[in-house]
A and B are shown apart, each in its own frame.
Chain A
Amino acid sequence: MNLSDKDRLSQTINQTRELLVHLENNEIEDAQELIDSLATGGDEDLFVEIGKLTRNLHEALTNFQMDSRITDIAASEIPDAKERLNYVIEKTEIAANKTMDKVESCTERSNTMAKDSQELLKEWKKLYSRELEPGDFRRLCKKIESHLEKNKNDADELHAELTEVLMAQDYQDLTGQVIRQVITLVHDVEESMVHIIKMFGSMDGYNSAKGKTTGKEGVEGPVVNADKRDDVVKGQDEVDDLLSSLGF
């Protein structure tokens, strides 16, 4: 029985009038019959509602079980993502060390070049102030020749090392791709969780929690959304200002 509220109301009014008439006329059996039918009429609506709820619950449970995406995510994609992120740590560490190896080697080479040039320059200046003996001059010429040769080799070496520094930056492309895959996974997890909240939780709670930026208690590492927060400094200048306001 699917009547609108208005229909149901007028039906009930009519039935009540009828009941009153039966009672006034002392027709007890008819009145009893009417009361019984009134009670069953209500039950029918209730049963329909319970039936609907049961069907919804059944569908929700079936959907939940059928959502194999969640199973896949938990069983293989999250462990896989952990492996991928470890790969990022590894790759960036290797690149940083390789770059620093080369930078250290270049620094050493440039220091030697500067020192050698400095010494040679000192002797060369002696030539102007006529402090050089004829024999010394020949020796100086030899030194300059070997210095220039060494410089040429060093320049080639520097170039080769700088090329290696350049090539060590290829991690950016590889780790970028891997991180993008993990971002996609995080997005899928988010969708699945929203789906679960829709079925079993409260969307109001979800909506009010949305957009809240929560800072972690204690240590939290680099802050990536400093612009949206007012409990963090945005750079060294703000650190210095804060410390000087404390009397540092």
Chain B
Amino acid sequence: MKILVVDDFSTMRRIIKNLLRDLGFTNTQEADDGNSALPMLQSGNFDFLVTDWNMPGMQGIDLLKAVRADDKLKSLPVLMVTAESKREQIIEAAQAGVNGYIVKPFTAATLDEKLQKIFERIDG
């Protein structure tokens, strides 16, 4: 499984990559905002996208919308990991078709649980 991790802070990308590795996902790549992530997704055969919301350049919500609008990418599972915690934002992400929403600060157990839930739903 090939996963793209998008966050403007390298430390957060590193934390997520480490947690994913502990969960058995070793094939991960990184991007620092939507603008650099989108071309990678379009040409890279990724199976999963983990993205932050608040980033300079293209924000996570716009990346999600771009993914859903792209014929090749529209069924890509997207997990949002973000500090944005307004109810209206969570609703907006849900309406844009996010598969999971984790609010920072989060734990390794939460990441594991949300990933399992998304995979169960895809497989089922």
Minimum CB–CB distance for B12 against chain A, Å? 9
- Quick check: A226 and B14 within 8 Å, CB to CB? no
- Quick check: A221 and B86 within 8 Å, CB to CB? no
Minimum CB–CB distance for A172 against chain B, Å? 15
Q: Is B108 an interface residue when CB atoms closer than 8 A count as contact?
A: no
Binds A, one of B31-39, B40-48, B66-74, B99-107: B99-107
Closest to A219 in B: B54
Q: How large is the interface on B (under 10, 10 to 19, 20 to 34, 35 or more residues)?
A: 20 to 34
- Quick check: B54 and A239 within 8 Å, CB to CB? no
Please measure, in the bound complex, the distance between the C-alpha atom of A223 and the C-alpha atom of B103, giving whole angstroms. Answer: 11
- Chain A, residues 87-116, CB within 8 Å of chain B (1/0): the string is 000000100110010011000000000000
Specify which chain B residues have a CB less than 8 angstroms from the CB of A96 in the assembled complex. 11
Q: Is A47 an interface residue when CB atoms closer than 8 A count as contact?
A: no
Specify which chain A residues have a CB less than 8 angstroms from the CB of B87 in the assembled complex. 231-233, 242
Q: Is B94 an interface residue when CB atoms closer than 8 A count as contact?
A: yes
For window 206-236 of A, CB contacts with B under 8 Å fall at: 215, 219-223, 226, 231-236
Please measure, in the bound complex, the distance between the C-alpha atom of A221 and the C-alpha atom of B104, giving whole angstroms. Answer: 10
Specify which chain A residues have a CB less than 8 angstroms from the CB of B14 in the assembled complex. 97, 100
Minimum CB–CB distance for A58 against chain B, Å? 49
Specify which chain A residues have a CB less than 8 angstroms from the CB of B59 in the assembled complex. 219
- Quick check: B94 and A221 within 8 Å, CB to CB? no
- Quick check: B84 and A100 within 8 Å, CB to CB? no
- Chain B, residues 82-117, CB within 8 Å of chain A (1/0): the string is 011111111100100000011110100010000000
Please measure, in the bound complex, the distance between the C-alpha atom of A93 and the C-alpha atom of B14, giving whole angstroms. Answer: 12
Q: Is B23 an interface residue when CB atoms closer than 8 A count as contact?
A: no
Indicate whether A221 sits within 8 Å of B83 (C-beta atoms), given known contacts A231-B88, A242-B90, A243-B101: yes
- Residue in B11, B15, B86 whose beta carbon sits within 8 Å of that of A231 in the complex: B86
Specify which chain A residues have a CB less than 8 angstroms from the CB of B54 in the assembled complex. 219-221
Q: Is A248 an interface residue when CB atoms closer than 8 A count as contact?
A: yes
Specify which chain A residues have a CB less than 8 angstroms from the CB of B110 in the assembled complex. 236
Please measure, in the bound complex, the distance between the C-alpha atom of A223 and the C-alpha atom of B18, giving whole angstroms. Answer: 26
Indicate whether A93 sits within 8 Å of B90 (C-beta atoms), given known contacts A221-B83, A239-B103: no
For window 52-84 of B, CB contacts with A under 8 Å fall at: 53-54, 59, 83-84
Which of B10, B11, B94, B104 has the most chain A CB atoms closer than 10 A to its own CB? B11
For window 1-51 of B, CB contacts with A under 8 Å fall at: 10-11, 14-15, 18
- Quick check: B85 and A233 within 8 Å, CB to CB? yes
- Residue in B11, B18, B88, B101 whose beta carbon sits within 8 Å of that of A239 in the complex: B101
- Residue in B11, B86, B94, B104 whose beta carbon sits within 8 Å of that of A220 in the complex: B86
Please measure, in the bound complex, the distance between the C-alpha atom of A236 and the C-alpha atom of B103, giving whole angstroms. Answer: 6
Specify which chain A residues have a CB less than 8 angstroms from the CB of B90 in the assembled complex. 233, 239, 242-243
B residues near A, CB below 8 A? Answer: 10-11, 14-15, 18, 53-54, 59, 83-91, 94, 101-104, 106, 110
A sample of 15 cross-chain residue pairs with beta-carbon separation below 8 angstroms, ordered by A number, consists of A93-B11, A96-B11, A219-B53, A220-B54, A220-B86, A221-B54, A221-B84, A222-B83, A226-B85, A232-B85, A233-B103, A236-B103, A239-B85, A242-B87, A248-B94
Q: List 7 tightest A-B contacts by C-beta distance, closest first.
A: A96-B11, A222-B83, A219-B54, A232-B85, A233-B85, A232-B86, A239-B103
